[in-house]
Amino acid sequence: MVLYQIFEIQTLIREANMNEQMVTGNFIEGLAIINFEWKFLYFYESIGEHSRIFPEDMVGKIIFNEIRSNKSGVFFKLCQTVMSDRIPLQVEKLYKLTDGSEHWFRVEVSPVSEGIIVQCLDVSEKKQAELLIESSLKKKDLLLRELNHRTKNNMHVISSLLSIKASSLKDKETTIILNDMTNRINTIAKIHDMLRESTDITRIDLSKYILNIINLLATSFLDNTERISIKKELEEITVNIDTAISCGLIINELITNSLKYAFPGDRKGQILIKLAKPDDKIELCVSDNGVGFGKKDPQGDTLGLQILHLIADNQLKAETKLQIDNGVTVNLRFNDNKNEQRISNQEYSYN
């Protein structure tokens, strides 16, 4: 039985080496059958080319006495585990051969009726390609982080220049416009600041980003947090950068509008921001219990709401509902996929 299997194995090795080389560039460098007494029943001769160990010297001998290696090492532990648990296992490891060369080998050990079969493949070319790709990805990641850092710094410079200019102007309307532009720039800059601290530079925690925006706006507009409170109900949701920036700009406009217009004089009130993902779509809601505005009120046509409609429709492809009953409420439902077609048309509901 064993001799017949060995003949089959020799034929299969020749075929496998041809196929493996054609597909991956790897060669089967060695194969051995070891019985339950840890004796070699078969030893494939290709190993001898590197280690100077030959089949006729190995068959019938005990593996632990013939292979010079630490019995507690990775290879022996792998063989012992497969021998006892009867489950196939594999490991990739860098080995230094007797000729001084270093090769990456994938050692695959599987249970067979006689004991275990050990197959050794030279995966050096594959491993070198993987290491090259890994190195390239690390360089790309480093460059992207540097780009984010420089973008953030440039935005802060622009923001600072606008703030200085706004503080030197006497025209109130122009000052307000410059301050609003400063907040919009800071909203985008904040995401680049967060990316610098993130392990993934392609995605971001939207809830944390929203909190940062709220803190920025509260610092800019609120001198009395007891008069106007901002309540947050934010579910932790990770989104891509484009989605986060779009949401950030929308939130900036909506909260800014509420802080400017919803609570005139000494009126007290609350702004509520909700973020959730009850199904495959993300839901974002910003509402206030302020004075609201009528259908013909010029506030309903402010730049902030124009920006909301523009971003929600063109960037987020969102389903949008705007309610002006007992304050202003804006509900958005959207996917975290910039290339996905909008499921339904933008919807506006005036109650």
Q: What is the pLDDT of residues 329-341, one digit of tens each?
A: 999 999 986 544 3
**Contact call for residues 234 and 269 (beta carbons, < 8 A):** no
Indicate if the pLDDT at residue 319 is higher than 90.
yes
Mean pLDDT, all residues of the chain: 76
- From CA 61, how far away is CA 23, in angstroms rounded? 35
Query: What percent of the chain shows pLDDT beyond 90?
Result: 21
Residue 137 and residue 224 share a domain: no
Residue 315's pLDDT is 87
Residue range of the domain that includes 26: 2-122
Residue 144 and residue 86 share a domain: no
Residue 156 and residue 109 share a domain: no
Residue 165 and residue 114 share a domain: no
What CATH number is given to the structural domain containing 40? 3.30.450.20
Last residue of a domain, one of 122, 147, 169: 122
More confident residue, 41 or 52: 41
Residue 225's pLDDT is 65
- The tokens for 71 are 């019995």
Indicate if the pLDDT at residue 286 is higher than 70.
yes
- From CA 81, how far away is CA 61, in angstroms rounded? 20
- From CA 144, how far away is CA 155, in angstroms rounded? 16
Indicate if the pLDDT at residue 206 is higher than 90.
yes
Residue 298's pLDDT is 43
Query: What percent of the chain shows pLDDT beyond 70?
Result: 73
Number of domains composing the chain: 3
Residue 133 and residue 82 share a domain: no
Q: How confident is the model at residue 283 (pLDDT cuts 50, 70, 90)?
A: very high
Last residue of a domain, one of 161, 178, 201: 201
Indicate if the pLDDT at residue 310 is higher than 70.
yes
Indicate if the pLDDT at residue 76 is higher than 80.
yes
What CATH number is given to the structural domain containing 238? 3.30.565.10
More confident residue, 197 or 331: 331
- For 111-121, what is the mean pLDDT? 89
Taking phi first (over 0 means left), then psi (-120 to 50 degrees means alpha), and beta for anything else, what does residue 222 get?
beta
More confident residue, 148 or 139: 139
- From CA 334, how far away is CA 314, in angstroms rounded? 12
- For 280-302, what is the mean pLDDT? 74
Residue 223 and residue 192 share a domain: no
Residue 157 and residue 103 share a domain: no
- For 254-260, what is the mean pLDDT? 89
Highest mean pLDDT among 80-89, 300-309, 338-347: 80-89
Last residue of a domain, one of 68, 97, 122: 122
Residue 140 and residue 22 share a domain: no
Residue 307 and residue 213 share a domain: yes
- From CA 102, how far away is CA 212, in angstroms rounded? 51
Residue 333's pLDDT is 95
Indicate if the pLDDT at residue 237 is higher than 70.
yes
